[in-house]
A and B are shown apart, each in its own frame.
Chain A
Amino acid sequence: MTAYTATVTVRLKRGVLDPEAETTQQALERLGFELSDLRSADRFEVDLDAADADEAAERADEMAERLLANPTIHDYEVAVAER
């Protein structure tokens, strides 16, 4: 078994309204920053032991499917690194 960290990034699908991001962008603009857009995402770092990187990624993928992301509104990606 090898120790891995699987990083799961969950973000809203393109086209799904993100009122929190819009509010954050407005706050940045009030502070004088110039920006053309802002998107937010949630990142989960999952430490786990697996036989190989593929297995670690597969398990993190299932975590995203079953809890970390809501497929109706979210896309997600998984990246695995040895820890």
Chain B
Amino acid sequence: MEFRLSDKSLLPALIALLLLGSCISLAVGAMTIGWRDVLAGLMQWSWPGILDQDVPEQYALVLGEIRLPRLLLGLIVGGTLSVCGAVMQGMFRNPLAEPGIIGISSGAAVGAGIVLVFGGVLSVWLGAFYEKLQWLLLPAFASTGAIMATWLVYILGDRGRSVVMMLLAGIAISALAGAALGMFAYVATDTALRDMTMWQLGSLSGATWTSVLVTGFIFAISAGLLWARANDLNALLLGESDARHLGVDVIGLKRQIIVLNGIAVGAAVSVSGIIGFVGLVVPHIVRLLRGPDHRYLIPYSALLGGLLLTVADTIARSVFAPAEMPVGIITALLGAPFFLFLLWQQRQQIF
């Protein structure tokens, strides 16, 4: 008998862990805040004067303007990468597909890099108008880059039939993206350079309420639309031909996956950079616990992905406090060995 956890045990456990992780993430950091002060500080921030107690002003500020948006961004980006990883793996019919590994995040980073570096030229022409536009331009270009990269990998990988080609195409795109970003570095201004370095390593330190709203909105829409097609995604796991015989509009489904994934990954990368391996590890764990059915895989991946990235970010912020590591280093440190382990497991099947 195959081991599967029921929703009754899995869902409450995951939500409890998510709440616990969130509280710890809010309390821990360069300035340690006790749990009662976390609550008080957040209340003070959201509704000044609601409490009789005296809460240090900087608590409210740190919690409301820095840690809370960062926590939410972590949940959103982690969820986005995990859901996209899960759906990519379904489309490529291979558990090794992941936005970072197959170069989709790199494509997005190039798109974002173009805006950052050449945006300066635009801002000269457009002036203040450009400033208002930038929050939209960044994810838009990043998403375009992600969609193009996905499409290219998919075509080169013989429509999901060749794992080797898929992984090699990912390497090629990542290399190309690395070269492009490296070249951008020579023409970039100092600010742009700092942003780009952060991106290549992946970090949540740029969290603002605007970025939370934009990525959150995009995540909710794209994950929701993909979840709505969970049954078709399940059929796709049988192969494109079999899915078509089951009445699934395979071409439309794949187009939808590529576009929605691209938009979501692009939005996530445009604020947090390339955070690798989350989309690989999370869906894998969910499949072990709950099976490969997309009706459950997608929501559970969203929850577990948020939890995992939040935990990783908390570690990244506290190991060398008050300095902080880019969270991408932590996820790679945990995820890359996991990837190697999966390769080891599949070594007979790949070639």
A and B held together in a complex: no
Interface residues of B (CB under 8 A from A): none
Interface residues of A (CB under 8 A from B): none
